[in-house]
Amino acid sequence: MARRVAEPAIAPKGPEALARMRRAGALVAETLALLRARCVPGVTTTELDRLAREHIAGRGGIPSFLGVPGPIPYPGAICASVNEEIVHGIPGPRELRDGDIISIDAGAILDGWHGDAAITVPVGAVGEEVARLIRDTEAALAAGIDAARAGNRLADISAAVQRVARRGGYGIVRQYGGHGIGRSMWEEPHVPNYLVRGAGSGPALRPGMTLTIEPMFTLGSPDTAALPDGWTVVTRDGSPAAHAEHTIAIMARGPAEILTQIA
């Protein structure tokens, strides 16, 4: 789930905290793998939400999003955003149809620590342009993770994500992005999907920092609108949108560790 947080004062996590976050991240990954397999024509987003609640509770966890304050307390365990819905789609009676895409964002608390990840899933057969949007959003996530190395700067992540979007000609949703994560779902810093200042700017990345990276791309305009439910964010022009996210930890050497790797 995307929410704007302030910069920067980022507190690295120690070995015990990282071990607990790995367990929370694994639970989120399990949940998304389960839901991905159930994204077939005829399933409702409420059914997907129920499966997520049951799986998280069955592993001793708590859904991170349920009851989050907002226009109304968030009523779902997942965000289920279909087609032109970008993020924060509330689960309900809507049935998925062949050719739809659905972005599922899941978070879980385990032993007081959070994990957070998102996937965009094609339902049945989708057109090549939409399939490419999904693939490139995932590629942007991978590029952002590759840039998330000790000694780099926060803006290096943003630059990597932005390069993939510009190559594909996609709209970059600017109001939402990644964030720090740990004992709270939303910690500092905000991780934009575009360069706010020049590359190499922003806080230095240090071992033990834990972040989410979450590109959100559209096939049309990046302009957004909120639905009357107060949560669901859609593309203003009705174009499809894709969302991908992982929770990562900055390592002392080499690439970041993905804490929500989905099998």
Domain 15-258 has CATH 3.30.360.10: no
Q: In this predicted structure, what is the pLDDT of residue 4?
A: 54
Enumerate residues 6+ apart whose C-beta is below 8 A from 67: 73, 74
Cα separation, 158 vs 200, whole angstroms:
10
Cα separation, 134 vs 131, whole angstroms:
5
Residue 72, token pair as written in the block? 């109304």
H/E segment holding residue 120: strand 113-122
Kindly report the pTM of this predicted structure: 0.95
Q: Which has the closest alpha carbon to 171: 126, 216, 139, 135?
A: 216
Cα separation, 31 vs 17, whole angstroms:
21
Q: In this predicted structure, what is the pLDDT of residue 92?
A: 98
Q: In this predicted structure, what is the pLDDT of residue 201?
A: 74
Query: What residues does each domain of the chain span?
Result: 15-258
Q: In this predicted structure, what is the pLDDT of residue 199?
A: 72
Contact 104, 209 (CB under 8 A): no
| pLDDT, averaged in runs of 10, over the chain (263 residues) | 58 95 98 98 98 98 97 97 98 98 98 98 97 98 98 96 98 97 95 86 92 98 97 98 98 96 92
Return the residue matching tokens 């009357």.
228
Enumerate residues 6+ apart whose C-beta is below 8 A from 128: none
- Give the three-state DSSP class for 54: helix
CA 84 to chain centroid? 16
Q: In this predicted structure, what is the pLDDT of residue 9?
A: 55
Contact 192, 148 (CB under 8 A): no
Q: In this predicted structure, what is the pLDDT of residue 8?
A: 47
